[in-house]
Amino acid sequence: MLAGYAVQVERSRGRRFPEPLHPYRNDYQRDRDRVIHARAFRRLEDKTQVFTRRYSDHFRNRLTHTIEVAQITRTVAGALDLNVDLAEALALVHDLGHPPFGHAGEKALDAAMREHGLFFDHNLHALRIVEDFEQRYAAFRGLNLTFEVREGIIKHSRDYDAEQHPELAEYLLNQRPPLEAQLVDLTDEIGYNTADLDDGYEARLLTLEQIRAGVPVFERFFRHVEPIYPDAPEKLQFNEALKRVFNRLVGDLITNTQARVMQAGIETLADVRLHPKRLAAFSGEVEDERKQIKDFLYYNLYYSPSLAGEKDDAECVVTELFAFWMKNPSALPHYYHEKAERESLPRVVCDYIAGMTDHFIIGQYEKYCLGK
């Protein structure tokens, strides 16, 4: 049984283009499957999360990160008696709009767009992907996802101003998203905060001593683990401590969100939507711990001198290719010539670059920019 404030698939606002019910899958399960089978989803396998393959094939990429977030989200949604199928679909689609080279690529693409009075937003780009770019069906463009999944794509991590984004008016911008969508931004943070500590340690860019000194919650659990496994290798002691950090974040998200829902007297989905603030949240103590982990990663990993060269190269590749196609639109694939007749050239070039994998964009850079 779902909670009264969960999204009921039977009460979905439906699809843009009506379709008959499926004989053995509900609409959110179908949305999940459509995302998984999308070309854009497959391309996540070759998009950087934090580390390129120069370090190891074992580290997370955008696809494996997405799968991990989906697992966390299903667990949390189930514990809260929310609609697990909707929550899973939202977790699987949440990073679909990211460009190649992780945040460095996104930064460069946004900067290039702003030179033309525009911008790049990976949530809005993900909506464009599922609404238009994916072409799998004869009856309509895009994936024809339900309203709730499309709404969650743009609203899971931020609130958009209705006056600044009139094109999003149908998505109830003056209301909060359902709890299933609210969870995703937080499970995303749990996923990448713990995974980046793990990958940073494995890459030897972070030492155990650094992590213990800079992440108090990790140090607390590590001191608990040491006497339990005194003879275990350091990496396994590290794993045991990190697992406990992970469980603390997940458990707190569940119990604190439950408490906030009860304290606010939330009984229906309408109550969730009309509440002044988002209800899914960590407790104050764990929120402080989350911020400490994030700050530690920014100062010691994301802006590490060891990664700076790769980030600079990524920004250079995106910037130079964007400039090349702005000056030479005839070099774009034929499909994008047609798009340029309907949309501005900067947006068309942005769409093309944003859909690329790391491997493909490097090939394009070598073809069009090197030696010229």
Judge whether 149 lies within some domain.
yes
| Crossing angle (nearest 10°) for helices 234-263 and 179-202 | 160
pLDDT tier, 54 (very low <50, low <70, confident <90, very high otherwise)? low
| In contact, 171 and 154? CB cutoff 8 Å | yes
CB atoms under 10 Å from CB of 43, counted, come to: 20
Q: Which residue has tokens 């008016």?
A: 169
- The 10 Å CB-count burial string (b at 16+, else e) for 302-331 is bebeebeebbeebbebbbbbbebbeeeeee
CATH number, domain of 114, equals 1.10.3210.10
Closest CA to 98 of 318, 354, 348: 354
Expressed as residue numbers, the domain containing 246 is: 24-307
Quick one: average pLDDT of 93-100?
A: 96
pLDDT of residue 59: 82
Model-level pTM greater than 0.85? yes
| In contact, 158 and 182? CB cutoff 8 Å | no
**Is it the case that residue 53 has pLDDT exceeding 60?**
no
Judge whether 354 lies within some domain.
no
Judge whether 316 lies within some domain.
no
Judge whether 318 lies within some domain.
no
pLDDT of residue 371: 67
Q: Of 76-85, 140-149, 302-311, where does mean pLDDT reach its minimum?
A: 302-311
pLDDT of residue 338: 85
Quick one: average pLDDT of 120-147?
A: 96
Structure tokens at 275: 């509440």
Q: Which residue has tokens 């990429």?
A: 61
Domains in the chain, number: 1
Residue 356 DSSP label:
-
**Is it the case that residue 107 has pLDDT exceeding 90?**
yes
How far does the chain reach from its first CA to its final CA, in angstroms?
63
- Model confidence over 145-190: pLDDT tens digits? 999 999 999 999 999 999 999 999 999 999 999 999 999 999 999 9
- Model confidence over 208-267: pLDDT tens digits? 999 999 999 999 999 999 999 999 999 999 999 999 999 999 999 999 999 999 999 999
Judge whether 175 lies within some domain.
yes
Closest CA to 124 of 85, 84, 88, 173: 173
pLDDT of residue 244: 98
Judge whether 342 lies within some domain.
no
pLDDT of residue 212: 98
Judge whether 98 lies within some domain.
yes
Cα gap 83→333, rounded to integer Å: 41
pLDDT of residue 96: 97
pLDDT of residue 218: 98
The answer to whether the Cα torsion of 277, 153, 103, 346 is positive or negative is negative
| In contact, 287 and 185? CB cutoff 8 Å | no
Cα gap 8→270, rounded to integer Å: 12
Question: Residue 135 pairs with which residues in a beta bridge?
Answer: 142
pLDDT tier, 56 (very low <50, low <70, confident <90, very high otherwise)? low
CA angle, 365 then 371 then 372, to 5° = 85
Higher pLDDT, 306 or 178: 178
Q: For the chain, what's the residue count?
A: 372
Name, in order, each residue with C-beta under 8 angstroms of 252's C-beta and a sequence gap of 6 or more: 282, 283, 286
Q: What are phi and psi of 205, to 5 degrees?
A: -90, -20
**Is it the case that residue 334 has pLDDT exceeding 70?**
yes
Judge whether 102 lies within some domain.
yes
Q: What mean pLDDT is reported for the chain?
A: 95
- Model confidence over 342-358: pLDDT tens digits? 999 999 999 999 999 99
